[in-house]
Structure formats: structure tokens, C-alpha cells
Structure 1
């Protein structure tokens, strides 16, 4: 029960300190011959393997972050966690928050547990590889607040990007694509077939069974006159 509560809640620091002191007093019978840090060491290193409650709680939170970021794709609680994290600072981000510098960001709208995730995450030193081999994480790279892209974004531009919710590289790419597609017609056959503006191509119908993907790709290219 004692190990379960730090994993699910964020106990007050004073409470953890008192419980930790009681554990040490019980172990040493109130006779502190060596520093407490020695007791927390494994027996192989000269300690007694006594549990440090604050460190155990931090380990639980880091494990939660690890499973949230790179855990199995079928985690049933990930959508709930993502919805709660998107409330952080009103940014609407989840995974990308762990790539950003959150100093000065208001965490009041997060619960104690989720706020504690970022406190523990801030204790680590993060280093990004020079070559990012994952397009998934590259598109989630933030363009504000600790971005890896040195682009000289000023405070006014950062504020505008935050207001427009353009905070990650993927969102920048999406905005650029939308701006380039504004003047482009959905299909070049519209004028030849006399289609009205209300009539739109049913792109999903190209890949419905029993059509093969190769056949759907061919029809897609024909509609785009590619």
C-alpha cells in the first residue's frame, strides 16, 4: 500500500519526510551511526537497501513518462493522459511538452500527479541526437520554448505562434501545405465533367474492397492527372 500511493498520487513533501524518518528510526532504533544516504545503497555497495520514498515516487513518474512516450501503442490510458496534458498552459500539446522548456509555463490546471511529472522530468539532462531517425518525433519538435531549431524567433513571433496554436514542426508543415493548396483544385477533371462546387471527389471510395491498393493508386493518379 505504501508503494502504491506514491505511484498514483503526489503526497506532500512533509508527509514523505515524516514517514521516511519513522522508517529510519525503526531500522536504527533511533541510533543514527551513519548518514541516511548509506542506508539507501544496495547491500552489494555497503548499504541496506532501504527505500527512499521521494526517489521511489520520482521513479514511478519517470516510468509513467517512458510508457506514455514510447510504450505500447495499445495503452488504454494514453488517450486520457493525452487529454489531460493538452490542458497544460492551454497549448493543446501532449508528447511535445516533454521536448519544450516549460519554465514559466503555468501548470495550475494540471493535477498534482501530472504536474509532478514535469518536476521530475526537469531533473534530467536531455540530449537530442544530431540525426533524428524518427519522422514521428521530428514533426513533434517544438518551434517555441526550447526548440532545437535556431531560427531567432523573437518574443512577439513566439506569442503569435502560441496564439495561433502553431507550436510544433508538424503544425508548421500543415499550415504551409494548406496555404499552398488554397488555389489548387481538388481534381483537374472538374471542368471537363462539369462538376459543381458542391460536388467533391470521394477519395476513400478508391480504396474500398474489393479494389486493390494498386488499383486505387492508379485511379488516384488519374483523378489528379498525374
Structure 2
């Protein structure tokens, strides 16, 4: 995709605004898809694969952690740049950490194997420190103790807000230095997904529906994670 087309695409996209200050996305999904038609076919395929992986709702309740880990590995081993590999790995490491917290919240022990049940560098650390509130990962994920507290208190919406904020700020860091390239498009689309997700939680009915979905996730066995677009 030429530099001019990247500029055309990205300058056509409205500013996101502040995450928790917005009640709706700055552009509809239909309008966003229309803008994304400017992507080269291979870029469009890559973006779709990233969205499909990261959105936890796309994984069925009977899909186990190992299947999601395998899907992640296939994407990481594909022809994508190191920046995308790092972004995907980071997001899926958070999924793995949250899956472990929820598994423990259900009263379960650590996975049978110390690795291969999740994604990323911290599987063995989590497995070895199952009884620690933050799995001794507070230095890597400073928010993990707060996430554990909110989960124990069953403050589902508070946990969602925490994780959405963590993900939003991480995308902001990943986007530094990328303004008119494919990486900037990825950051924009993923942040759009976060705003779209948060905008669904306005009103008592929306909150009740969200809590119902979380309870369903807590009863499942898959690699579930709130906080995704």
C-alpha cells in the first residue's frame, strides 16, 4: 500500500477522544469498514486475523485454552512484522493472566502442565506461584493485584474498566512513532473496538447484560478475557 493511501485512510478517520469520556464510537463500523477498503488485500487479511484472535467473544465456550494458544502461535509464525508480533503477544499474555485469575477464582488448581496452556513468557511463573495473589507478576503487570481484588469482590464492571484502560494505554504506547502506516491503522481499529465495547455498558440494562455475560464466562473453561475490543 502506498504512503499516499495510508495518509488518505488515516486522515479520514475521526479522533477517538478519551476512552471513558465517550458514549459512542466516533465512526460507525460500517463507515470504518468503508475506509478500510483502502487497505491492500494482505493487510486486510492480517487485520481481520488480529481482530478475530483478540476479540474474546469470537471464541466459543467449548474452545479450550490450548486451542486459542495454537491459534495465536499460527498467527505469530505467519509473515507479520516484529511490531505486530509484540502487540499480539502482549495482548494474549494479558488474556493468559486473566484466564489464570478466573480459573483460580473458580477454585481450580493450576493447569496440569506448566506451559502450553496459555500464551507468552509468564506461563511457568503463573504455574509456580499459583497461590500468590498476583502470581508474583506485579512488577510486569502493576495492575494485577487490583484486577484480582475486583474479581474477588465480583465487581465485574470495575474489572472491565480497569482492563480496558490498561489495554488502551498499551495501544497508545505501541502507536508511538506510527502515524501513517499499517501499524497506525491496527492501533486505530483496536482502540475503536475498545470504545465500542465500553459504549455498550451505559444504562442499567446494559450493565445487567454485561454481568450476565461475565457469569457465563466464569462458568466456562476457555481462555476468556474482558477488556477487548
TM-score bucket (shorter structure): under 0.3
Structure 2 length as normaliser, TM-score? 0.26
Structure 1 length as normaliser, TM-score? 0.26
Return the index of the structure with the highest Cα Rg.
1
Greater relative contact order (Cα < 8 A, sep 6+)? 2
Higher helix share: 2
